[in-house]
Structure 1
């Protein structure tokens, strides 16, 4: 998997692209199965952050500008055909910032934006809550195991634990430097996906709503930060931009 873009199921003749951004400390692997959940007219393209998988030899992005700058350059290479941006957790903020920056960079805007398992960037909440760079390695590992970000088998592998913490810390350093620039909005349909057990805040729904001048939809799904395994494996099926639903801004409930 050389380079930052990975296509699990190449579809060069597809009419559109689902461009996905991973969570803090994550790679492309958790998203690859989504290719089979997409209609044939949609190609899944996954962005790999520096320092892992096909970009293992590339130094970690240590600032938000480095992190988003690399993703923006990659986006420019796939934006010739219609695309939807989707990001999970930290990736939701990356996707939002990419949608904002696209116009300034002369890149066609996305047809829609899906933000999953993330609070709004203009109200980040308590930055001292885990995960944070000030947490110990064990605290970060405990958090990753609790939310289901890494498999339990990693507990017995010191080298895998070390690598998981190293990647997470690098991404945390970048995301903790992110500051929303007041007044920046997107003008495309925005859908928020949240797990019912993932500390859902009704005020967060309204804050996300105010960050777009386009249609807004909030969808609650079973499970926690990564939903349930069944929901995660077919999450694109809940993305209304890919599967248009009856318009309306009220939160919906799916199972």
Structure 2
């Protein structure tokens, strides 16, 4: 259902003329593409596990590293795009003409290109540090410094900052709408505003558990845990990622 929904988003936002010209629609399209990648990468080991009773993440070092790197990219970019859609709608609904002029598709292209390159480069250390630990049979970083850094990255970059950004600019966009008697944009643009505001609520609900889980992991890092507790935490990580 997630793949189908994201596929429909890609089709609608890339084929409808009204949407093709707006930065928000472009952000939605990029977000849907990387969401589809993230869902697919998460589904592959689950399908193999269900069909053959094996977890690729725990038997293939290559897949352990590759999956984590792909997920790192395909989670960070959609979250960034979600933030950018909220910021763009703040610009679009602003009564200030200078702010409205910041909503440009060319600028959106440059920003997405930059964040894509940054997050791809950021994922490179994963190929070096992640491995399968034979004693606990888990795929994780074998370097505690990188493990702590990576956990902090997820808490701050993938959770705290996006929630704060979307909540702030979502509220500002909503306030702009309330202050405006009628938007000077087309009806489709008003629909985009509504979609962005709904997305803010959904994304916050979805990424908050990720931040909470990783905060727990960071706090309990170095604590001796039983095999049963490790299994529970691993299952929880699969649910929230």
Normalised to the residue count of structure 2, the TM-score between the two structures is 0.28
Greater share of residues in strand: 1
Normalised to the residue count of structure 1, the TM-score between the two structures is 0.27
In our comparison, the structure showing a higher alpha carbon Rg is: 2
